[in-house]
Amino acid sequence: MRDFTGSRRIFGGGLILLSCDFCQTLPIIPRSTPTVELHACLKSSVLWRHLQKLTLKTNMRVQQQPNASAGNFAKQLMDIGNGRVEIDESTQCITLPANFCKNTESIDELVKSFPKHSQNYKNHQWLSKRTILAAKNIDVNTINFTIQHGILSE
């Protein structure tokens, strides 16, 4: 921005609006360590002290939902993301609440838990009410391939 505006001020004197969820925005740096990734974050930047942080107080997606379970789910996500869920000392894992999600043993079992996806894959309303959580992109790709293969073979 300095080059663009010709100003020596931070961000060229312009107002910059950044919007993100810092729980979800760790940079991905190939062949790096967690320490390197943390140092690459905006919060580690010399610019961080010049930012004014504004916090949203109302989850608008939850406000638009007709049932109370959406609010409960949002609270559970925030508790997990903010580290307010007890960690099992022996496994260093958390236990998800029973109503949080459905665990499956295989990708085929997971795909079967979403019946009629081959009829509804073009229905944005139907799709927007379904979520598959996976920790790694390779798992997401495998699940997507399995679902797409099932649609194409029908």
Closest C-alpha to 116, from 143, 145, 154, 144 = 154
For residues 93 and 77, what is the distance between their CA atoms, to the nearest angstrom? 15
**DSSP string covering 20-55, please?**
--TTS-----TT--HHHHHHTSGGGSTTGGG-----
Report if residue 106 sits inside a domain.
Answer: yes
Beta bridge partners of 87: 94
Report if residue 52 sits inside a domain.
Answer: no
Report if residue 144 sits inside a domain.
Answer: yes
Spell out the per-residue pLDDT of the chain, length 154, in tens: 888 889 989 888 888 888 777 666 677 888 999 888 888 888 788 888 888 888 888 888 888 888 888 888 888 988 988 889 999 999 999 998 888 888 888 998 988 888 888 888 889 988 888 888 787 889 989 998 998 888 876 6
Report if residue 36 sits inside a domain.
Answer: no
Closest C-alpha to 101, from 135, 55, 58 = 135
Closest C-alpha to 118, from 151, 149, 145 = 151
Helix (H) or strand (E) holding 93: strand 93-94
Give residue 129's identity as a one-letter amino acid code. Answer: K
From its phi and psi, is residue 53 left (phi > 0), alpha (psi between -120 and 50) or beta? beta
Q: What is the pLDDT of residue 94?
A: 92
Tell me the residue range of the domain where 108 lies. 101-154
Domains in the chain, number: 1
Report if residue 26 sits inside a domain.
Answer: no
